[in-house]
Amino acid sequence: MSRKPVPAQAGERSRVEVTFDKPQLLPRLFGEFDANLLALEERLGVYITARGDRVGIEGSAESVGRAREVLQELQSRVIRGEEVDTGLIDAVIAMSAEPTLAGIIRAESNQTPPSIMIRTRRKTIVPRSVMQTHYMRALVSNDVIFALGPAGTGKTYLAVAQAVAQLITGSVQRLILSRPAVEAGERLGFLPGDMKEKVDPYLRPLYDALFDCMPPEQVERRIASGEIEIAPIAFMRGRTLADAFVILDEAQNTTPAQMKMFLTRFGQNSRMVVCGDPRQVDLPGGDTASGLADAVRRLEHVEGIGTVRFTAADVVRHPVVGRIVEAYEGQHG
């Protein structure tokens, strides 16, 4: 691995060497053709050389220190079985800049397994941002959770993962995933096919999250048995959802009446997560109030209900997604 060093201002140059005690894991840490090290160089403005089980880091003192911390955290993630990609690298870099989370990272690194995590059939999930840490704690401590924020922050994905984990362990008997079937008030008649074929395109993100946490054949089997139900919010009317983990996605596109109907379906031994972005309301006419904003205003301080607010800083998809969200929030702010 040999590249042109990243320049640093005179007087700020620093160099450290990190030795890894599990060299067999280094290919996963470094990535194919050292892609992960290249990503670290680009994001932190350092120059990295890898020789055997040792990595040299050069650059400004601050950048070198952060790069070392990020590499050590990434190594601990690899040891725990996580795959390192640019999303995880960006998340760990962002987390390293947060003093409140730095202590959490160190505490988590000293625990095997870590205390803040979600185990599913296909992977073990740990937080990738400060707010994800708070959210994952809320998912096991509150009866009803409102998760608010832009796309890419993990609101729905983490809720589905927690639901799958509880279904696997038997903590709940059913997993119910719902969302408004269409942005403009659930008008399904114009779509071809039977009811399932009409609503499936709108529920696809929920299927995708499920398949990422559980083998497809298990998902299909549990759907067929009724253990997993994916349906538009209109199908919730008149029901009591007991012994269930219930998730409502795209909740900003419900009316206050729909939201009240949904929330009052809550039954014994259940947990309910309501996800949405209050700034992306697609209700028709522009005059209809969002049921999500109305519910949070009424219920935020009610006992047993938690509210987690994500921002563009918590986006864990490609870095450009965070910049897009910031640009739009600045425009509308």
d(CA 321, CA 154): 13
Average confidence score pLDDT of the chain: 82
| pLDDT digits 0-9 by tens, 40-69 | 998 889 999 988 888 999 999 888 988 998
| pLDDT digits 0-9 by tens, 256-271 | 999 999 999 999 999 9
Annotated domain spans of the chain:
13-109, 120-332
Q: Which residue has the higher pLDDT, 192 or 186?
A: 192
pTM: predicted TM-score of the whole model, two decimal places: 0.71
Topology (CATH) of 120-332:
Rossmann fold (3.40.50)
| pLDDT digits 0-9 by tens, 267-296 | 999 999 999 999 888 877 665 789 999 999
| Res. 165: pLDDT tops 70 | yes
Least confident of 80-89, 133-142, 157-166, 170-179: 80-89
Bridging pattern class, strands 174-179 and 228-232: parallel
- Model pLDDT, residue 109: 46
- Model pLDDT, residue 159: 95
Backbone Cα Rg of the chain: 22
Q: Categorize the per-residue pLDDT at 10 as very low, low, confident or very high, splitting at 50, 70 and 90.
A: very low
Q: Which residue has the higher pLDDT, 42 or 9?
A: 42
Q: Which residue has the higher pLDDT, 329 or 153?
A: 153
Q: Which residue has the higher pLDDT, 185 or 288?
A: 288
| Res. 23: pLDDT tops 80 | yes
| pLDDT digits 0-9 by tens, 233-262 | 888 888 889 999 999 999 999 999 999 999
Distances (CA, A) of 186 to 56, 182, 254, 312: 57, 5, 10, 29
Mean pLDDT, residues 70-88 taken together: 83
The CATH number assigned to the domain with range 13-109 reads: 3.30.1370.10
Mean pLDDT, residues 218-225 taken together: 92
Least confident of 22-36, 83-97, 104-118, 258-272: 104-118
- Model pLDDT, residue 190: 52
- Model pLDDT, residue 205: 80
HEC letters along the chain? CCCCCCCCCCCCEEEEEEECCCHHHHHHHHCHHHHHHHHHHHHHCCEEEEECCEEEEEEEHHHHHHHHHHHHHHHHHHHCCCCCCHHHHHHHHHHHCCHHHHHHHHHHHCCCCCCCCEECCCCEECCCCHHHHHHHHHHHHCCEEEEECCCCCCHHHHHHHHHHHHHHHCCCCEEEEEECCCCCCCCCCCCCCCHHHHHHHHHHHHHHHHHHHCCHHHHHHHHHHCCEEEEEHHHHCCCCECCEEEEECCHHHCCHHHHHHHHCCECCCCEEEEEECCCCCCCCCCCCCCHHHHHHHHHCCCCCEEEEECCHHHCCCCHHHHHHHHHHHHHHC
| pLDDT digits 0-9 by tens, 99-139 | 545 555 555 444 444 457 787 877 778 787 778 889 999 99
Q: Categorize the per-residue pLDDT at 207 as very low, low, confident or very high, splitting at 50, 70 and 90.
A: confident
